[in-house]
Structure 1
Amino acid sequence: MDEALPSARLQAVRSAIARAARLAGREAGDVTLIAGSKTHPAEDIVPLLEAGQRAFGENRVQEAEAKWPALKQAYPDVELHLIGQLQSNKAAEAVALFDCIHSVDRPSLVAALGRAMEALDRRPRCFVQVNIGGEPQKGGCPVPELPVLLEQCREAGLPVAGLMCIPPADVEPAPYFALLAKLGRRHGVSALSMGMSADYEAAVTIGATHIRVGTALFGERF
């Protein structure tokens, strides 16, 4: 990979975030850009690290365990986010490695994470994933069950930062982002993890505090 290319892509995404934030009367600094580094090897990640990017997202615990301990040793201020689905039997490994978990979506996972956090004395911030489009094939808590799951998170000692969603594909995402923002206000959580490469600018204008961008930073995966 051309080392000039990742820094240019990073600057382009940051500029787009700043434009979208201005449109919404927000500060660009209120938006955390998470570089989605799933499937990308360490040599693709280092140029972004060298360009100053410090928040990265991985989809799988096992993949993150293979490449991030060494990277975090070299760049100790990196913040690592788990942005993919998490199996309950991987809860302890996730708590040990990640600084933030975006896919808390069911009572069994809440219980497993609570036990792991207690045992490891480490409490990564958590987002409750909402199945915002009611899609049966997708992870996430159904909207009507959100109040109960949030209460279960608090009872288990999970530090709930906010809500996360992935809107249905191939439809206008803005109404789904607006619904997540409304749910966040209703339940008193301020952080919103929403928006990816194709729609992060819309997400920023609607209130996203965390956006998960892969392709726009790393290019297409082959």
Structure 2
Amino acid sequence: MKTILQQLQQVHDRIAAAAHACDRLPEQVHLLAVSKTKPIAAIEAAYQGGQRQFGENYVQEAIEKIQALSATHLDIEWHLIGPLQSNKTKVVAEYFAWVQTLDRLKIAERLSQQRPAHLAPLQVCLQVNISREANKSGILPEEVAALADKVAQLPQLNLRGLMAIPEATEDTEKLKSQLLELQQLFDRMAQIYSSLDTLSVGMSNDLEIAVACGSTLVRVGTAIFGTRPT
């Protein structure tokens, strides 16, 4: 049975191979280890392998981990990659470095207001519903420009990029079409906002296609930590 360290290295190897295949540098693609539902020991194991960026979906679970690990002084950069309700913005503003799932101005305003003054601005990505699925979070592509304009003006937020969860499909061409649309949208927005440098897309099953379509940050859980408990 492979260890977390071995699986982490395999993911880095996959990222490097995917980058080389499309004439990109491996260091242009960052790895976010998705540690939701995983124990602290698993996070510590990945940390020992050099991993510093971790993503959590559930606010309360994440806060418990952040508080427990803060006592050990690990320099972890925590990303919220799950939905955020308005009643949780204060604690997220206090504990996280990034929020990747911003899709409402109200949430953005609350995060900016509640970000402690002694902390650096909260790094944020707008979540885009690139597949236009009715039951999926995120704003539609044509709504990105208007929300970005508002978010960029908030003093305690730093607009860094776009995030998406493409359609779960085995149709590679359909997936690639969605990712290329997202890449084109990102490129247009990056011409307007110099702070945009993050295109967060790609997971354990599709990171190679995502890297080929411009992803700068892949969110990988299962390939590092194994399957989640049901």
Q: TM-score by structure 2 length?
A: 0.90
Stretches of structure 2 that go unaligned for 5 or more consecutive residues are 191-195
Question: Secondary structure of 1:86's partner?
Answer: coil
Who is 1:211 aligned against?
218
Who is 2:201 aligned against?
194
Who is 2:8 aligned against?
10
Identify which of 107, 113, 116 aligns with 2:114: 116
Question: Secondary structure of 1:74's partner?
Answer: coil
Superposed structure 1 runs of 4+ greater than 6 Å apart: none
Q: 1:65-97 CA distances to partner (integer Å, 9 max, x unpaired)?
A: 111222244253211111111112211211211
Query: What pairs up with 1:148-159 in 2 under 5 angstroms?
Result: 148-157=146-155, 158-159=157-158
How far apart in 1 are the matches of 2:180 and 2:58?
28
Question: Secondary structure of 2:152's partner?
Answer: helix
Query: What pairs up with 1:49-68 in 2 under 5 angstroms?
Result: 49-68=47-66
Give the AA of the match of 1:210.
Answer: L
Question: Secondary structure of 2:24's partner?
Answer: coil
Identity %: 38
Identify which of 177, 181, 199 aligns with 1:175: 177
Q: TM-score by structure 1 length?
A: 0.93
How far apart in 1 are the matches of 2:123 and 2:78?
11
7-16 or 103-112, larger mean C-alpha shift: 103-112
Question: Secondary structure of 2:112's partner?
Answer: helix
Aligned positions, number: 220
How far apart in 2 are the matches of 1:74 and 1:195?
30
Stretches of structure 1 that go unaligned for 5 or more consecutive residues are none
Superposition deviation, residue 120 in structure 1: 6.3
Superposition deviation, residue 119 in structure 1: 5.7
Contact kept? 2:93, 2:116, Cα under 8 Å? no
Are 1:136 and 2:138 matched, yes or no?
Answer: no
Change (3 A) 1:52 1:116: same
How far apart in 1 are the matches of 2:197 and 2:48?
31
